[in-house]
Amino acid sequence: MILPIYIYGSHVLRERAREVDIEKEEGLQTLIEDMYQTMKHADGVGIAAPQVGKSLRIVIVDGEDLADDMPELKGFKRVMINPEITFESKETAEYSEGCLSVPNIHADVVRPRQIRVRYLNEKYEEVEEEFNGFGCRMVQHELDHLDGHLFTDRVSQIRKKILQSKLNKMAAGKVSTHYKIAQK
């Protein structure tokens, strides 16, 4: 089922998402499938549970659609439950980011070039994996959502000032997208 995507100004995007208790959380596989369908419908490459109004530590990244331009993303699809960064490189990289929850805005963001993450996959198996390149950026962007951060929080002060009027309008519900949105 396609879910509405919560946009800038929604409280759920600013909360620290709660850990998933896989023994008690009902409908977890359905939520994961709904998140994936929602992400694909919105032409996204990543989505976090808070973006669909669920304050849970779940993210999905899928770079397969970018593999023609970035061959390293061929087969790059991950479901991450309760992810935790265990290593961040001191070396950084800058890249222009956008977000389904902050539609029609892009800005350069500096992030660590390499990270290591421990998480449960969709089969509830524990995995520890290193990421670099664009896959690393995708993972970091989505993990930020789990702690109530948006990419606009990581841009330079001058860029924040330039974006502020657009963000204020978005928070007031003045935004247009090709996908269903929600605000709370």
Q: Where are the alpha helices (DSSP H) in the chain?
A: 28-41, 133-146, 157-171
Residue 84's nearest CA partner among 116, 54, 55 is 116
| Cα angle 82-109-15, degrees, rounded to a multiple of 5 | 40
Q: Which residues are tagged catalytic?
A: 142
Structure tokens at 140: 């970091």
Backbone angles phi, psi at 83, to 5 degrees: -70, 150
Give the tokens for residue 31.
């939520």
Task: For residues 70 and 95, give the distance between their C-alpha atoms in angstroms, rounded to a whole number.
Answer: 14
Angle at alpha carbon of residue 60, lines to 54 and 66, rounded to 5°: 140
CB 150 within 8 A of CB 161: no
Distance CA 32, CA 79 (A): 8
Which stretch of DSSP H or E encloses residue 36?
A: helix 28-41
